[in-house]
Amino acid sequence: MTGAILAIDQGTTSSRAIVFDSSLEALGSAQKEFRQIFPKPGWVEHDPEDIWKSVVTTARGAIRKAGRKPADIAAIGITNQRETVVIWNRKTGKPIHRAIVWQDRRTGDICDRLRDEGREPEITARSGLLIDPYFSGTKVRWLLDHVKGARAKAERGDLCFGTIDTYLIWRLTGGREHVTDATNAARTMMFNIHDGDWDDTLLEILGIPRAILPEVKDCAADFGITDKSILSAAIPILGVAGDQQAATVGQACFKPGMFKSTYGTGCFALLNTGPQSVRSRNRLLTTIAYQLDGNRTYALEGSIFIAGAAVQWLRDGLKIIRRAGESGPLAAESDPDHPVYFVPALVGLGAPYWDADARGAIYGLSRGTTRADIARAALESVCYQTRDLLEAMRGDWEAGKARTVLRVDGGMVASDWTMQFLADILAAPVDRPKTLETTALGAAYLAGYKAGLCPKPATFAKTWQRDRRFKPTMRERERSRRYAGWQEAVSRTLSRRPA
């Protein structure tokens, strides 16, 4: 039995591996959580070794559960948490510091200085990104400035920088390959999304030597061959994409105007704009959706930092639920005439506000407020934020004002209650696919496409299947009233007014 594809989905809180057959049907999977490290308020780190061990364990487990041998795996696809930074010694392979996670806010001062220097217009024009601690560039700058001897070693070419995909490929290939793909590179604030290369001007602004950067490739390309000792077979790595771009591929959003939103730890909405890179007037990001056969497809992206993490907070912080799946039924018990708003700025606010200093707040509390009302407010906050993004996208792209259907994926979309409220507040249909693991599916497709096992995108798109469509039922007057309440709550929470 040959022609199987191993998808490695390395996320923020866990690593997952899924084996697909050449028809992209899942055969077996494994998942493993790893430590979250919070050294100081606003700091979030991972131990790269924890990530590595979880990936190897789940990859081996998925192959075993699929009833396959390692030699049956024709290709590997990798998708990963984006913007998270690792720097390691090129000779020893040892990281110089823990990984700094995309949620980390320690570089706020660096970002403030860059804005004060008037650097944001040029950075945005070249990278498509805004200045924010979210992106990789200022994290790299912090590491070079704060780890003893790091800058001198970097300038000598003794260090390697990578997002998680790059670090995993380095380890999987026994240190032979230092590479990334265009979608991950596009999230670093060091990459010119129009020229398709690392940008010397951006590197000079950030003070980062080019010598530490990986080679950038298409999403479906030859990224190297695994060392046989790791998975008991030498397997080509043929597909790589950041998690949100992989989900865009997995959702088959290949046509301009198609819109997907993934609800994991955070929420990330991408609108395909085709070969045109659209400059946002509403503080969204211009990014690379995918790059195939040397051709770039662009997207507008809105990033919400807290989505599923709000449910985790209900469970682990407030302890008002025991399992994430309880949040929807509990919210359904709340009083809809007792509006409570939760602005989940637990690590600042992302698009379209980009306020790193904002902190979470709950409004509308009274003696009658119950845990059901808090649960409802947490779930509704994700939906309100999605509408913020959709409104911004419609303002940026004329074609985006046409009738919108949102394709959704991620853990939160299993909640019918949440998806119905999402459709109601957006005044737009919400389509939930039959295959919810769209991120891993996208990585598998990219690898299978390069291996010649999977068809061209247009043919692959025909295989997408809908599980359920949620249609809006809320009256417009009620929708407007609720959304206005959300906007008022956000305005009270911001540390500064949006530009």
Give me the pLDDT at residue 72, please: 93
Is residue 57 in a domain? yes
By DSSP bridging, strand 267-274 and strand 259-263 are antiparallel
Is residue 348 in a domain? no
Nearest-5° angle of CA 41, CA 47, CA 50? Answer: 135
Give me the pLDDT at residue 329, please: 84
Give me the pLDDT at residue 402, please: 53
Is residue 388 in a domain? no
Pinpoint the alpha helices (H) of 173-235: 182-185, 200-206, 228-231
Residues 6+ apart with CB under 8 A from 347: 42, 44, 103, 105, 305, 306
Is residue 33 in a domain? yes
Is residue 176 in a domain? yes
Is residue 52 in a domain? yes
Give me the pLDDT at residue 1, please: 42
Tell me the per-residue pLDDT of 428-452, one tens digit each, with 9 for 90 and over: 899 999 888 889 999 999 999 999 9
Tell me which amino acid residue 320 is.
Answer: I
Give dist(CA 278, CA 298) in Å, integer. Answer: 8
Is residue 414 in a domain? no
- 3-state DSSP call for residue 421? helix
Query: Residue 199 is part of a domain; what is its CATH number?
Result: 3.30.420.40
Give me the pLDDT at residue 367, please: 87
C-alpha to C-alpha distances, 334 to 241, 339, 344, 369, nearest whole angstrom = 40, 9, 19, 9
Give me the pLDDT at residue 399, please: 52
Give dist(CA 167, CA 358) in Å, integer. Answer: 32
pLDDT in tens, the chain (499 residues): 458 999 999 998 899 999 999 889 999 999 998 989 999 988 999 999 999 999 999 999 999 999 999 999 999 999 999 999 999 999 999 999 999 999 898 999 999 999 999 999 999 999 999 998 989 999 999 999 999 999 999 999 999 999 999 999 999 999 999 999 999 999 999 999 999 999 999 999 999 999 999 999 999 999 999 999 999 999 999 999 999 999 999 999 998 888 899 888 888 899 899 998 988 888 889 999 999 999 999 999 988 888 888 888 888 888 888 887 888 888 888 888 888 999 998 888 888 888 878 898 999 988 888 888 888 898 999 999 999 988 888 888 765 555 667 899 888 888 898 999 999 999 989 999 988 888 999 999 999 999 999 999 999 999 988 999 999 999 999 999 999 999 999 999 988 654 4
Is residue 19 in a domain? yes
Give me the pLDDT at residue 425, please: 94
Give dist(CA 108, CA 455) in Å, integer. Answer: 44
Give dist(CA 16, CA 194) in Å, integer. Answer: 33
Overall domain count for the chain: 1
C-alpha to C-alpha distances, 380 to 174, 274, 344, nearest whole angstrom = 46, 31, 11
Give dist(CA 402, CA 67) in Å, integer. Answer: 46
Model's pTM, two decimal places?
A: 0.86
Give me the pLDDT at residue 499, please: 46
Query: Structure tokens of 345?
Result: 């700025």
Give dist(CA 365, CA 67) in Å, integer. Answer: 53
User: Considering Cα of 135, then 116, then 42, then 345, what sign does the dihedral take?
Assistant: negative
Task: Quote the domain boundaries for residue 24.
Answer: 4-243
Query: Structure tokens of 430?
Result: 């919400």
Give me the pLDDT at residue 412, please: 84
3-state secondary structure 250-291: HCCCCCCCCEEEEECCCEEEEEEEECCCCCCCCCCEEEEEEE
